[in-house]
Amino acid sequence: VKIVKNKVAPPFKTTEFDIMYNEGISASGDILDTAIKYEAILKKGNSYSFNEIKLGAGRETAKKFIKDDPKLIREITKAIQQKIKEKEAVEE
């Protein structure tokens, strides 16, 4: 889903997320996209890795790998939070 216009949000903002059948909004897809944005997950070509852990080749494979490992979800989430804090500290 890509949302471009919203009457109650600031103008010129967009967002994208996955909606999966029988699942709803894909949490693993959101984590993957956010981690790539903040460089917590490294993407080389179509391969994804977190630290030394190979998440897989292809977005769907990486999403499944993340979804199947709750400990990894926590680690990636902590890494994202740390990257956001570092970015905010640099901007101040």
Structure token digits, residue 49: 């890795």
Q: Region 34-39: what's the mean pLDDT? A: 94
Report the mean per-residue pLDDT for the chain.
88
Structural domain that includes position 59: 27-91
Q: Is 85 within a domain? A: yes
Please give the average per-residue pLDDT across 5-14, as a whole number.
75
pLDDT of residue 84: 93
Domain CATH code at residue 44: 3.30.250.10
Give the rounded percent of residues in the chain with a pLDDT score beyond 90: 64
Asked whether residue 33 is assigned to any structural domain, the reply reads: yes
Kindly tell me if the per-residue pLDDT of 21 is higher than 70: yes
Q: What is the mean pLDDT of residues 50-71?
A: 94
Distance CA 92, CA 84 (A): 13
Counting the structural domains of the chain, the total is 1
Within a domain: 18:
no
